[in-house]
Amino acid sequence: MPSLPDALAETLTRLDVRIAETGADRGRLLDAAALAERTALAEDEVRVLLDGGAREADRVDDRVRRRVRAVHEAYVARSGKRAGEVGREVAERLSISPEWARQLLLGRKMPNVPDLTELAEFFGIEEGVRFFTDPAATVLNRELGRVLAGLEEDGDGDRAGDGPLVDFATRHGVVTLALRGQRLTRRQQEALAVMLEGLLGIDDEEARR
């Protein structure tokens, strides 16, 4: 098994091959800002890695705190909730004080493993704790693996990588969207995207009331 930097380089090479074969929009699929939002990495981190550069070594504690803050900020922006409301929900979920929850969400305090596990579940992160702890190259490689899988033709012969679910995730800054190995046809993707758009629309209407 190749080392992680080599694994990322291999994934990028395979992506370039598939993009050339399918004529997909490389700029959209490898948009650094969108990838940064979905991975909770800094945009400059993503750009360096996409360009083949090496990320400077960092401490796991610093990595975790940065990503918790990034996930929290993305969640607040996406949900339309106030940061204080999210903090109270997290405090209740973790059975901690609102002030301690606020410090965790701002990246000022380091969560312990049980709290980090609960935070991953609260924010709907399928990878769990490793989403926060893995090195940047690992996190980006995992996300690019999803992009690569999406470029594979689905049952209808359409390119899933250019499909409705990828468009939905890109528009709404979805951090993670996984189907647990299932391959959907384009029609199924369209139906699911419409349903998700409708649910978000309902939340937006309720937030404005």
Q: What is the pLDDT of residues 125-142, one digit of tens each?
A: 999 999 999 999 999 999
| pLDDT higher than 60, residue 100 | yes
Confidence of residue 184 (pLDDT cuts 50, 70, 90): low
Q: For residues 137 and 6, which has the higher predicted lDDT (pLDDT)?
A: 137
60-133: which CATH architecture?
A: Orthogonal Bundle (1.10)
Confidence of residue 112 (pLDDT cuts 50, 70, 90): very high
Residues 196/58, Cβ–Cβ less than 8 Å: no
CA 42 to chain centre: 12
| pLDDT higher than 70, residue 86 | yes
> CB neighbours of 81 closer than 8 A, spacing ≥ 6?
75, 207
Location of each CATH 1.10.260 domain in the chain: 60-133
Answering whether pTM is above 0.85, one says: no
Looking at residue 208, its pLDDT comes to 54
| pLDDT higher than 80, residue 186 | no
Residues 176/121, Cβ–Cβ less than 8 Å: no
The count of residues in the chain is: 209
Q: What is the three-class DSSP state of 187?
A: helix
Q: Measured between alpha carbons, how far is 26 from 88 in angstroms, rounded to an integer? A: 40
Exposure string for 52-70, b = 16+ CB within 10 A, e = fewer: eeebeeeeeeebbbbbbbb
**5 closest CA partner among 62, 48, 35, 60:** 48
Question: End-to-end CA distance of the chain, in Å?
Answer: 54
Looking at residue 50, its pLDDT comes to 93
| pLDDT higher than 50, residue 63 | yes
Looking at residue 56, its pLDDT comes to 73
